[in-house]
């Protein structure tokens, strides 16, 4: 023990920092801060975080604790910081000591992170040794998740293992005062990856590769560009012919395409980029941000033909910055490097084979991508940012839960699939996998699960899947449960949504769940899609739903909204509507086709009952003349939102009890919409009034259920709540009624959250 004289006036604290603080430069941050403040002590990794013993004058220790959090590395996430007094030991140095036993299994892997300001400045400095180096990075930025093969996270277990560090890079890597201390992907032009540009007739390297790629883009051609998590397909976003050519080759006829602008000033020349959007774009996650388009937007109309917005991102890798530097175009389309519905291409040879009929040239390099990861997509709203797709920049950071979970693998939904693995109080949700429609995507799904299990060092003790018996994810879970002898929980789709939004807000419930989306397999084997659930993770009651109609032709009705619109007209006006309702939509109907479909509906043959919010939006879009047929999911609702003139005047609707539940009945709405069409009302006004009606119907439903149950918590989940008008106006209206609404924050409201909900439900049932 130190002499009392040596410790006079000194105090010693144990500071424990929990969260994402390992592998993100946190120990060097603490070391530099302690040294600058003249403090002694030590720091080491421990299970779940970092432990610091710090000694000095009490006032200085207070400053140290404040700055530990305030000046934390940009990709660190501090969940909790606690301070405990200790006996002082006397002055000395501050040092980093070996991790406490057992800490290794708790180390978190960082997501891929956008280029930081320091690296950007160095890259454009002609005097810097990394001038124009396409792979510049440091502890605060660069690839992580996509280059990791195993743990612990060191260079030998990444795709950088093949590149031996030169003496200069090694010196930086080993210097704790250097920004590249233990930055595993560190490299320079002398020892790093090589940039190549390849066409069918030529191959260029280095700066020449960039020059050749730029030239092709200026000509209106298509270039496949290798990013952090896979390839993009790029073309000039100003050139309508180039964008149409890309759409035709990729098989993506109308779905909006993301664009990349060199800087904020350029982005603001074609989109309204507010401060919230600017912060997101320039942050370490650097997602695609959905921004309203300017009325005079100069980009090609075919970039985003169905919406009033663009998905905009800024260059997040040094290669993107160098490609766009000096390129005489306003923006580049940067869409996923795949054929429609296929997984992202990640390997050079694979990309040239799969994308060879799309791209005219390939800008790539020899740093391998071990696991694909698409771009994240976020939409700012008046209620905060809403996640549309959670992937690069966020995965594999966990969603933090408010209670311990046993290790569970939940395999997610059929569309917009993610899976989830739980460990302790962390839920690790995968990158966006996509739609599990074919073997190629299923193989990517299985490969990604194996990758997560390896680097998380987790062996699941149970499985969870959807109720639908035919989903590929369900079959996978069934096979794995049998192979490993594990329990399997089957979770209804909308119950998973309810559990997910509760977990996202670290709540148990009970809650009134308003779960609104396209389709989900119901517990009664009908198609659910606009549900009033009461309960929490462990159990729920279906307390109400949208009035059911039959979807003539099953999934064909999703592709052809006119079928759903006609079915709603039959509900509202009777089976003779086709002779009695004189509006343009009815005059367009093929009478023979409708005779066949109405017969299917009457007999209940290939015409499942559905209570779908998405199909109601489809029907309204068809009624007012937007789409009779669609080319991708949610095309009609997106267009309906895009044209909507916000209105406070709702149409009529009906709420009534039927059987053991509340029925939300929009047949009066359909009648009034027909009346407005007959009177020549504009599409924009009808769309606006319909949105107001849907909000009013849900708000009144929640109020009635609150009276019946004495529950004030209202949980909103499902793809319908990606609609900015609906989420903003409904949250406002529920609060006006003195209810307590919650929405998704860290997870998407769409099916990307379902895996989290499945895991939470399984855990609750097993308890």
Distance CA 519, CA 503 (A): 22
- Residue 115 CA neighbour count, 13 Å, CB half: 23
- Please say whether the beta carbons of 343 and 446 come within 8 A: no
Same domain, 527 and 475: no
Same domain, 443 and 522: no
Same domain, 247 and 357: yes
479-486: Cβ within 8 A, 24+ apart: 480/409, 484/460, 486/460, 486/461, 486/462
Distance CA 73, CA 28 (A): 10
- Note whether residue 243 is domain-resident: yes
Same domain, 498 and 528: no
Looking up residue 16, the CATH number of its domain turns out to be 3.30.70.100
pLDDT under 50 in the chain at which residues? 1, 4-5, 101-105
In our burial notation (b when 16+ CB lie closer than 10 A, e otherwise), range 491-503 reads bbbbbbbbbbbbb
Backbone angles phi, psi at 573, to 5 degrees: -120, -5
CB-based burial of residue 638 (10 Å sphere; 0-12 exposed, 13-18 middle, 19+ buried)? Answer: buried
Q: What's residue 445's pLDDT?
A: 96
Tokens of 61: 């220790």
- Please say whether the beta carbons of 420 and 433 come within 8 A: no
Tokens of 543: 């307390």
Distance CA 518, CA 133 (A): 46
- Domain region containing 704: 515-744
Residues near 207 by Cβ (< 8 Å), separated by ≥ 6?
Answer: 132
Nearest to 52 by CA among 76, 73, 21: 21
The single-letter DSSP state of residue 144 is -
Q: What's residue 439's pLDDT?
A: 87
Q: How many domains does the chain have?
A: 4
Distance CA 3, CA 526 (A): 77
Same domain, 279 and 229: yes
Q: What's residue 457's pLDDT?
A: 86
Same domain, 203 and 334: yes
- Residue 671 CA neighbour count, 13 Å, CB half: 11
Q: What residue has token string 């395999």?
A: 411
Length of the chain, please?
Answer: 767
> Residue 476 in 3-state DSSP?
helix
Distance CA 764, CA 767 (A): 5
- Note whether residue 238 is domain-resident: yes
- Note whether residue 726 is domain-resident: yes
Distance CA 354, CA 344 (A): 10
Report, in angstroms and rounded to the nearest whole number, the Rg of the chain calculated over CA atoms. Answer: 28
CB atoms within 10 A of CB 49: 23
Distance CA 728, CA 695 (A): 10
CB-based burial of residue 343 (10 Å sphere; 0-12 exposed, 13-18 middle, 19+ buried)? Answer: buried
Looking up residue 424, the CATH number of its domain turns out to be 3.30.420.360
- Note whether residue 137 is domain-resident: no
Same domain, 255 and 342: yes
Same domain, 253 and 330: yes
Same domain, 665 and 591: yes
Q: What's residue 106's pLDDT?
A: 56
Distance CA 534, CA 590 (A): 42
Distance CA 419, CA 210 (A): 37
Same domain, 496 and 528: no
The single-letter DSSP state of residue 100 is P
Distance CA 345, CA 479 (A): 27
What predicted TM-score, i.e. pTM, was given to this entire model? Answer: 0.93
How would you classify residue 389: left for phi > 0, otherwise alpha for psi between -120 and 50, otherwise beta?
beta
Of 323, 342, 365, the last residue of a domain is: 365
Looking up residue 256, the CATH number of its domain turns out to be 3.90.870.10
Of 106, 140, 156, the last residue of a domain is: 106
Cα–Cα distances (Å) from 431 to 384, 426, 520, in that order, read: 22, 16, 22
- Note whether residue 192 is domain-resident: no
Same domain, 422 and 532: no
Q: What's residue 23's pLDDT?
A: 65
Same domain, 228 and 323: yes
The single-letter DSSP state of residue 141 is B
Q: What's residue 3's pLDDT?
A: 52
Instruction: Report the chain's terminal Cα–Cα distance, integer Å.
Output: 48
- Note whether residue 371 is domain-resident: no
């Amino acid at each position: 023990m130190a002499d009392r004289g040596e410790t006079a006036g000194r105090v010693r604290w144990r500071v424990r920092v929990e969260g994402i603080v390992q592998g993100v430069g946190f120990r060097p941050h603490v070391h530099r801060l302690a040294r600058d403040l003249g403090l002694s002590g030590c720091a080491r990794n421990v299970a779940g975080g970092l432990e610091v013993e710090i000694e000095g004058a009490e006032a200085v220790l207070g400053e140290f604790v404040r700055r530990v959090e305030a000046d934390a590395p940009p990709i660190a996430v501090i969940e909790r910081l606690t301070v405990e007094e200790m006996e002082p030991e006397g002055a000395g140095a501050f040092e980093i000591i070996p991790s406490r036993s057992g800490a290794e299994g708790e180390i978190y892997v960082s997501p891929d992170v956008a280029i930081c300001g320091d690296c950007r400045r160095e890259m454009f400095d002609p005097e810097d040794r990394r001038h124009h180096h396409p792979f510049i990075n440091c502890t605060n930025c660069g690839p992580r998740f996509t280059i990791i093969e195993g743990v612990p996270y060191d260079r030998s277990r990444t795709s950088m293992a093949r590149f031996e560090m030169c003496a200069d890079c090694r010196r930086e890597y080993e210097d704790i005062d250097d920004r590249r201390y233990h930055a595993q992907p560190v490299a320079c032009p002398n020892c790093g990856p090589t940039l190549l540009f390849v066409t069918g007739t030529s191959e260029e390297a280095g700066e020449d590769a960039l020059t050749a790629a730029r030239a092709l883009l200026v000509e209106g051609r298509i270039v496949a560009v290798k990013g952090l998590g896979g390839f993009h397909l790029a073309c000039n976003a100003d050139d309508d012919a180039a964008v149409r050519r890309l759409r035709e080759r990729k098989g993506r006829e109308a779905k909006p395409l993301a664009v990349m602008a060199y800087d904020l000033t350029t982005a603001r020349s074609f989109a309204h980029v507010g401060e919230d959007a600017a912060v997101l774009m320039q942050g370490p996650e650097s997602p695609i941000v959905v921004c309203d388009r300017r009325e005079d937007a100069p980009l090609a109309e075919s970039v985003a033909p169905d919406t009033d917005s663009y998905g905009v991102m800024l260059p997040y890798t040094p290669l993107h910055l160098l490609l766009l530097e000096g390129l005489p175009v306003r923006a580049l389309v940067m869409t996923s490097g795949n054929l429609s519905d296929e997984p992202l291409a990640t390997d050079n040879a694979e990309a040239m084979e799969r994308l060879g009929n799309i791209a005219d040239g390939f800008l790539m390099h020899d740093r391998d991508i071990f696991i694909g990861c698409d771009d994240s997509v976020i939409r700012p709203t008046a209620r905060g940012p809403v996640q549309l797709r959670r992937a690069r920049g966020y995965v594999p950071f966990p969603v933090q839960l408010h209670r311990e979970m046993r290790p569970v693998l939940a395999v997610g939904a059929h569309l917009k699939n993610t899976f989830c693995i739980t460990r302790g109080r962390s839920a690790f949700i995968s990158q966006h996998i996509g739609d599990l429609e074919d073997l190629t995507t299923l193989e990517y799904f299985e490969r990604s699960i194996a990758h997560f299990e390896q680097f998380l060092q987790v062996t699941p003790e149970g499985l969870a899947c959807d109720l639908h018996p035919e989903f590929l994810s369900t079959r996978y879970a069934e096979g794995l449960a049998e192979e490993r002898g594990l329990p399997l929980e089957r979770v209804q789709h909308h119950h998973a949504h309810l559990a997910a939004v509760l977990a996202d807000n670290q709540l148990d419930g009970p809650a009134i769940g308003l779960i609104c989306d396209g389709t989900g397999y119901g517990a009664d084997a009908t198609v659910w899609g606009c549900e009033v659930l009461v309960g929490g993770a462990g159990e729920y009651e279906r307390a109400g739903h949208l009035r059911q109609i039959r979807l003539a032709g099953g999934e064909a009705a999703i592709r052809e909204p006119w079928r759903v619109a006609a079915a709603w007209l039959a509900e509202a006006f009777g089976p003779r509507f086709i002779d009695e309702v004189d509006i343009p939509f009815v005059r367009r109907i093929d009478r023979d086709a409708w005779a066949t479909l109405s017969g299917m509906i009457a007999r209940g043959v290939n015409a499942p009952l559905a209570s779908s919010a998405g199909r109601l939006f489809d029907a309204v879009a068809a009624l007012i003349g937007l789409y009779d047929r669609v080319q991708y999911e949610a095309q009609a609702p997106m267009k309906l939102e895009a044209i909507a003139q916000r209105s406070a005047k709702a149409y009529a609707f009906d709420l009534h009890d039927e059987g053991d539940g509340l029925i939300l009945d929009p047949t009066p709405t359909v009648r009034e919409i027909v009346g407005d069409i007959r009177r020549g009302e504009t599409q924009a006004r009808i769309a606006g009034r319909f949105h107001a009606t849907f909000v009013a119907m849900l708000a009144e439903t929640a109020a009635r259920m609150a009276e019946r149950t004495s529950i004030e918590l209202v949980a909103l989940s499902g793809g319908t709540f990606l609609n900015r008008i609906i989420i903003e106006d409904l949250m406002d209206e529920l609060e006006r009624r003195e209810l307590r609404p919650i929405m998704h924050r860290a997870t998407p409201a769409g099916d990307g959250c379902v895996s989290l909900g499945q895991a939470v439900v399984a855990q609750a049932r097993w308890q």
